[in-house]
Homo-oligomer: A and B are copies of this chain.
């Protein structure tokens, strides 16, 4: 009699973004004449850069000829791409080895799967609000109790509240934890951790032999100086941190699918010597994964070099101009806004203490604008919405106009 993994039944509800899609589709069905303006999901909208497209075409041509065709690559990613990633980090002063990089089909997969190399007994701390994948993957992995419907929290998790009081960057835990998920620039709040703030977490992790899982998928969106782009800019972070990153938001690879995870050989844990976690992630990838698409990997290489790099940075600048327009638009109607300066996400307080989903419904119904309700990211996200700057400029402008004209608060 086959039984299920009962941890799945603890998951509080449907995954956030499918739920948004469901509500939006329902509303659209009831209002077929309306144009919905989508600033919900962080989904890129602008074309792949010419440099990337050229290399993608070239790779397809190589695959079309038997002499240049290739099948399975290394599960860890093609050597040329891992070496290009080493060079990319070196430009920012971070020295890593190719064998510390694991190329994947994207940051979401890695962020969800990384917990699998850790024991079920690890106590997990997450920023609150947080990208739901950190939470849900650990629920499925058996590291929580039930969902507590009063506190809107999972029993067993340590929630590090991010709020106006701490500028949306929490202090390290006051209690002992073993795994800490950090995301900077943060999804959803748009806050970015300073060098000192990250150092406090690294110090905590070293002292407690905890492991930090650092999601830096938005590091290319940092526009202000002196903010660390990689956690390895903090001394000794290689001893205590895994870093996950992606080509999705940097170069529009959301659909092409390509990311990477760094597991330094210096990374320590309770059960064995430094290097063990690097070996374990290697074994995990060799067993559960067969490498990222070789076409996508060729494209990723183009992103990291010469024209590709410049064109990707131009894509980021395009979205950041959207972010500026959104920040200003929301401020003008009287909302209090955060983020959007070193991040493509604007984190706005709902008016009159409205609940996130109520404000979501109001914006959809009165302005035809889709955003993401902050409460979907955790209890501290209640009374906020996340507005994504991914969209065509004209749609972003229209959305702000619609909010200015139609929002009654």
Within 8 A of B (CB), among A28-75: 41, 43-48, 50, 53, 56-57, 60-61, 63-66, 69-73
Is there a chain B Cβ closer than 8 Å to A255's Cβ? yes
CA distance A140 to B116 in the complex (A): 8
Interface centre among A18, A53, A60, A292 (most CB of B within 10 A): A60
Please judge, given known A-B contacts A287-B133, A287-B137, whether A121 and B3 are in contact too, CB under 8 Å: yes
Q: Dominant SS at the A interface?
A: loop
Pair A44/B71 contact, Cβ less than 8 Å:
yes
The stretch among A155-163, A293-301, A351-359 that forms the contact with chain B is: A293-301
Query: Which chain B residue shows the least CB distance to A390?
Result: B71
Interface size class of A (residues with CB under 8 A): 35 or more
Pair A119/B4 contact, Cβ less than 8 Å:
yes
A5 interface neighbour in B15, B106, B118, B294, Cβ under 8 Å:
B118
- What chain B residues lie within 8 Å of A276 (beta carbons)? 4
Q: How many copies of this chain are found per oligomer?
A: 2
Please judge, given known A-B contacts A1-B270, A119-B5, A272-B4, whether A293 and B293 are in contact too, CB under 8 Å: yes
Pair B63/A256 contact, Cβ less than 8 Å:
yes
Pair A256/B122 contact, Cβ less than 8 Å:
no
Interface centre among A72, A121, A292 (most CB of B within 10 A): A72
CA distance A6 to B272 in the complex (A): 11
Pair B209/A1 contact, Cβ less than 8 Å:
yes
CA distance A21 to B74 in the complex (A): 11
27 contacts between A and B (CB under 8 A): A2-B269, A3-B122, A3-B271, A5-B116, A5-B117, A5-B118, A5-B119, A5-B120, A5-B280, A8-B117, A11-B283, A15-B283, A48-B63, A50-B64, A53-B63, A57-B57, A70-B255, A71-B390, A105-B293, A112-B287, A132-B287, A133-B287, A140-B284, A257-B292, A257-B293, A257-B294, A293-B296
Give me the interface of A with B, judged by CB distance under 8 Å.
1-6, 8, 11, 14-15, 18, 41, 43-48, 50, 53, 56-57, 60-61, 63-66, 69-73, 105-106, 108-109, 112-113, 116-122, 132-133, 136-137, 140, 178-179, 208-211, 248, 252, 254-257, 269-272, 276-277, 280, 283-284, 286-296, 390, 392
